[in-house]
Structure 1
């Protein structure tokens, strides 16, 4: 899909976390240089260690920075990568504020939670209205991207395994230990109850929502 990139593209991973995806991008794009930003220094330390272990540490530069105040000149990057992070600033807001960082013809690749139906069930709608009321349909997100001046090159849903095997199964493995370790801690118990509710909603309504991957291209 991104076959028109230069041989040595400059990539910015926004909200990289511990950088599992950063390392993978570096593996599949051997000529790239990736600047990976996050506000949490321990995540960046983990990324540096993981990148070194994977043999790609020379092409990844971790940098502590906020995604709503990115310290780079206009037109610095060929690709912006934002996997599971744009919701922090908002889909519309991120598209607008990050666009200046792209070179003409550059790509913004991101994931965003989205409805896969126009008529979500009351249970799923109540949950998402509580935790992320800005969620909308893939169709509406495409329209928002186009109104922000991007060409929608492609969109596709992430597989359910991205939610279930890669995330919820791991959470379920830890919940009982967390419950016993933090018994009597109201804040921790509230977080555990929320995680259990989230998993229960997904079990029943996984066909109604998910993460959609968007590949957006800035005009030349």
Structure 2
């Protein structure tokens, strides 16, 4: 089966979404009572920059990193080995809406920039079973930073992720799904530009002549360029919020 172009467009990039090692470490620092050798599941890990950073940050942890695209997992395995943490990271090819692990297998779940694929509420509910009592779910989710977004920003998000809502609304969703909200914080604008959009735009320019006449590829490129243009004009209105959640009960 031919690889969807959305994967091809993101292959070889350091990240498949906005984020930074600093934000990963900040979120992890808020997990106060983990065991000394926690089991962590990184859901939708992509090429795994955050996976490797978690392994560096928590020297006793073991991480299972899951993604549906094998080339991302191969990139992660190489970077983990290069960083000297490969023996503590296991990669598994699987879909995040059908995770092949027993209940109560993990002390923490990690999901930077991936839960939107299954939906915020749906991910919170379906992944909760994987956590041990008092376990943590740390994730980033797109959110409105205003109650009155501009028509252009609202139209863009209605096209790509109509479930986007405000941070307070997401906090309420998390509480109703059986979590305590430990903390949240917004990702800085720089992690969108330097860490994500600039590499994506360069990748697009490299790919554009190779995919001329491919309707799927050309549509994905057009959408990516629209996404960056909207963010350039409306970055104050929305962004990613890091949610640090703890399983109740």
TM-score normalised by the chain length of structure 1: 0.96
Query: What is the deviation of 1:19?
Result: 0.8
Q: CA deviation at 1:187?
A: 2.5
- Asked whether 1:30 is paired with 2:82, we answer no
Tell me how many residue pairs correspond in the alignment: 220
Seen in structure 2, the aligned counterparts of structure 1 residues 131 and 74 have a Cα distance that, compared at 3 Å, is: same
Alignment partner of 1:98 is 2:127: yes
Q: In angstroms, what is the RMSD of aligned CA positions?
A: 1.1
User: Quick one: distance in 2 between partners of 1:22 and 1:212?
Assistant: 18
Give the SS at the match of 1:12.
strand
Moved over 6 A (4+): none
Measured in 2, the distance between the counterparts of 1:213 and 1:142 equals 11
Residue aligning to 1:4: 33
1:180 Cα deviation after fit:
2.7
Taking the TM superposition and a 5 Å limit, the aligned residue runs for 1:141-220 are: 141-220=170-249
Task: Tell me how far apart the structure 1 counterparts of residues 74 and 127 of structure 2 sit (CA, whole Å).
Answer: 25
Aligned partner (choices 131, 156, 161) of residue 160 of structure 2: 131
Assess, with a 3 A threshold, how the Cα gap between structure 1 residues 35 and 176 changes in structure 2: closer, same or farther: closer
Q: Which has the higher contact order (CA 8 A, sep 6+)?
A: 2
Q: CA deviation at 1:161?
A: 1.2
**CA gap 1:182/1:73 in 2 versus in 1, 3 angstroms:** closer
* CA distance in structure 1 between the aligned counterparts of 2:130 and 2:205, rounded to whole angstroms: 44
Question: Which runs of no fewer than 5 residues in structure 2 stay unpaired?
Answer: 1-29
Bigger shift: residues 91-100 or 69-78 = 69-78
1:71-90 aligned at under 5 Å gives the runs 71-90=100-119
Give me the whole-angstrom Cα distance separating, in 1, the residues matched to 2:200 and 2:177.
36
Cα distance between partner residues in 2 of 1:82 and 1:119: 28
Write out per-residue CA displacement over residues 33-87 of structure 1, whole angstroms, 9 at most, x where no aligned residue: 0011111111111111111110000100111111111111111110000111111
Unaligned runs of 5+ in 1: none
Q: Which residue of 2 aligns with 1:48?
A: 77
